Amino acid sequence: MTNEAIKDVVFRALKRVAPEADLTTLNPAADLRDQLDLDSVDFMNVIVAIHAELGIDIPEADYRKLASLEACVAYLAAHGA
């Protein structure tokens, strides 16, 4: 999967949880939860949506490695996406 395709998966997951968000203005290096005002329930729904699409079982201890959009894409690419 290309990084662009992985990014689309992440965007779809974010859109489900925060449909009002303008993802085109996201700073890819900055914290996702801060930028989109996501709480732990929202973030869990994002991880569940990514898992549903890619089938990658992200351990809870790795959630912090998914803090920014860049980090998300890099992590998922490194774990078989």
- Interacting residues toward other proteins by CB under 8 A: 16-21, 36-37, 39-42, 44-45, 47-48, 51-52, 57-60
Select 42 or 70, whichever has its Cβ closest to other proteins: 42
Least spacing, CB of residue 8 vs other proteins, in Å: 19
14 vs 23: CA distance, rounded Å: 8
Least spacing, CB of residue 63 vs other proteins, in Å: 10
Select 25 or 40, whichever has its Cβ closest to other proteins: 40
What is the DSSP secondary-structure string of 11-31? HHHHHHH-TT--GGG--TTSB
Contacts of 3 (CB under 8 A, 6+ apart): 73, 77
Three-state secondary structure call for residue 75: helix
Select 4 or 37, whichever has its Cβ closest to other proteins: 37
